[in-house]
Each structure stands twice: as C-alpha cells, then as structure tokens.
C-alpha cells in the first residue's frame, strides 16, 4: 500500500492544481477521468512494490496480453487444458496478434459452440484488439462464455476487468464480489480475485476524494 502513496499523491496534485488554476470544469473533469483510468491500468498490470525498470514501449501490450492469458489459465483450472485451438490462440495473443487469435477461436466456437474457454479467450482478444474497449462483439463473447459455463469465474472476472479499465469501477466490483461470495472456500483463484477487489476499493476511494474537491 505504501508504494501506492507517491502515485496517488502525484495524481491528486495534478488534479488539484488544475482546479486551483480555475480551469474550465470540463477540463478538470476530463483530467480526473484520465487519471483514474490510468491508475486502474497500473493497478491491474503494474507492480508498485517492485524496483523500476526502463520503459518497454510497444512491448507493454504483449506483456499485458500474456498476463491476461496467465490469469485465464489460473481461473480455468483443468478446463480447456490441451485444447489445440486455445494453445495456438494463447500463443498468438501473447505476441499481440489478436486478429489471428480471434480467427482461431472462431474456429473453436464453430466446432463447439459450448466451449466456454474459447468464448472467453475470444472476448479477451477482442477487448485487447480494441485497445481495452468493450465492443458489442466482445460483450457477446463474454455472454456466450457465461451462458455455456455459468459457474465459471472467468467470464464475470474478465468482464469486470474490462469495465474497471474503462473507469466503471462500481460495476466491476459488483461482478467480482459476487464471484468471491459464491466461490468454494478452497478455490485456488478466490484469493486472487479478493486481492483485485482490494485494489479496486483503493481506486474507488481515490475517485470519491477527487469528486469531493468539486
């Protein structure tokens, strides 16, 4: 938590400075939204407790994609393990080749429309291809993933992740909290999502602090 303090302090300082300078309301509201979304991305993919390293530039996108693949596999457990379509699509996704991954996953869902993991992997690839935006196609894929395996934690978790990255923190929290509350006590992914909720709670507090400066 201590490692977050400088980051939050800089964000608040930038926001308060804009307000103090009496910039137009639309200007500082836009900055607030940008800061929160930036912090959300850092909260999910950043590691504030680790030492700094040089910027990776365009390599960041594949790194984020690799993290999403790793998380999906963690939440999936044995589901989908060894599926050739998923193995190929995951490799393509890790290298940022989202369009190719989507093509492979469409083949998987055409062959088996009840393949929840393929639908979920497709949803994530569609979000990544749209640079974090939730397109109608991605929402459809998330819905199909949830419908084909209603008890799987992956679909609501990753939908919540996409919502959080777009600044819709409360919606994301509701999805994640429901997953944790209904998870088996020994589920290996339960603590992982609980930690995500704690990070999200900090962002929600920050958002409310910014709104209180109006």
Is a pLDDT exceeding 60 seen at residue 86?
yes
Is a pLDDT exceeding 70 seen at residue 13?
no
Is a pLDDT exceeding 80 seen at residue 88?
yes
> Is the pTM value of this prediction over 0.85?
no
What would the mean pLDDT of 18-37 be, rounded to a whole number? Answer: 48
What would the mean pLDDT of 76-102 be, rounded to a whole number? Answer: 89
d(CA 122, CA 128): 10
Is a pLDDT exceeding 50 seen at residue 21?
no
Chain-centroid distance of CA 103 in Å reads 22
Is a pLDDT exceeding 90 seen at residue 171?
yes
What would the mean pLDDT of 131-141 be, rounded to a whole number? Answer: 94
Is a pLDDT exceeding 60 seen at residue 126?
yes
* 8 Å CB contact between 175 and 146: no
Q: What is the pLDDT of residues 45-72, one digit of tens each?
A: 444 433 343 333 344 555 677 888 999 9
Query: H-type helices in the chain, by residue range?
Result: 4-20, 25-45, 60-76, 84-94, 98-111, 116-129, 136-148, 154-165, 169-181, 190-212
What's residue 40's pLDDT? Answer: 54
Residue 171 to residues 5, 76, 101, 138, 209: CA-CA distances in angstroms? 25, 23, 28, 17, 19
Task: Report the candidate in 64, 2, 4, 53 with the shortest Cα–Cα distance to residue 200.
Answer: 4
Lowest mean pLDDT across 36-45, 181-190, 196-205: 36-45
State the pLDDT confidence band at 4, using cuts at 50, 70 and 90.
very low
If you search the block for the tokens 């939440």, which residue do you land on? 75
What would the mean pLDDT of 75-95 be, rounded to a whole number? Answer: 87
Listing DSSP states for 99-122 in one string gives HHHHHHHHHHHHH-TT-HHHHHHH
What's residue 25's pLDDT? Answer: 47
Is a pLDDT exceeding 50 seen at residue 136?
yes
* 8 Å CB contact between 176 and 193: yes
Is a pLDDT exceeding 70 seen at residue 32?
no
What's residue 77's pLDDT? Answer: 83
Q: Give the chain's domains with CATH numbers.
A: 4-55+205-212 (no CATH), 57-166 (1.25.40.10)
What's residue 132's pLDDT? Answer: 87
State the pLDDT confidence band at 173, using cuts at 50, 70 and 90.
very high
Residue 117 to residues 34, 69, 124, 194, 200: CA-CA distances in angstroms? 32, 11, 11, 22, 25
What would the mean pLDDT of 97-122 be, rounded to a whole number? Answer: 96
């Amino acid at each position: 938590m201590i490692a977050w303090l400088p980051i939050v302090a800089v964000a608040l300082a930038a926001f308060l400075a804009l307000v103090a300078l009496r910039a137009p309301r639309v200007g500082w509201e836009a900055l607030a939204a940008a800061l929160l979304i930036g912090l959300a991305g850092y909260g999910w993919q950043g590691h504030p407790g680790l030492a700094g390293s040089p910027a990776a530039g365009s390599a960041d996108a594949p790194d984020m994609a690799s993290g999403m693949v790793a998380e999906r596999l963690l939440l999936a457990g044995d589901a989908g393990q060894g599926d050739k379509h998923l193995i190929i699509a995951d490799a393509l996704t890790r290298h940022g080749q989202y369009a190719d991954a989507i093509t492979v996953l469409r083949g998987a869902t055409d062959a088996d429309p009840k393949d929840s993991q393929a639908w979920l992997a497709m949803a994530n690839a569609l979000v990544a291809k749209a640079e974090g935006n939730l397109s109608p196609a991605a929402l459809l894929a998330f819905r199909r993933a949830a419908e084909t395996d209603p008890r799987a934690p992956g679909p609501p978790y990753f939908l919540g992740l996409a919502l959080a990255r777009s600044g819709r923190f409360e919606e994301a929290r509701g999805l994640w909290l429901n997953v944790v509350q209904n998870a088996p006590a020994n589920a290996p992914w339960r603590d992982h999502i609980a930690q995500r909720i704690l990070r999200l709670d900090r962002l929600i507090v920050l958002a409310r602090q910014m709104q209180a400066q109006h």
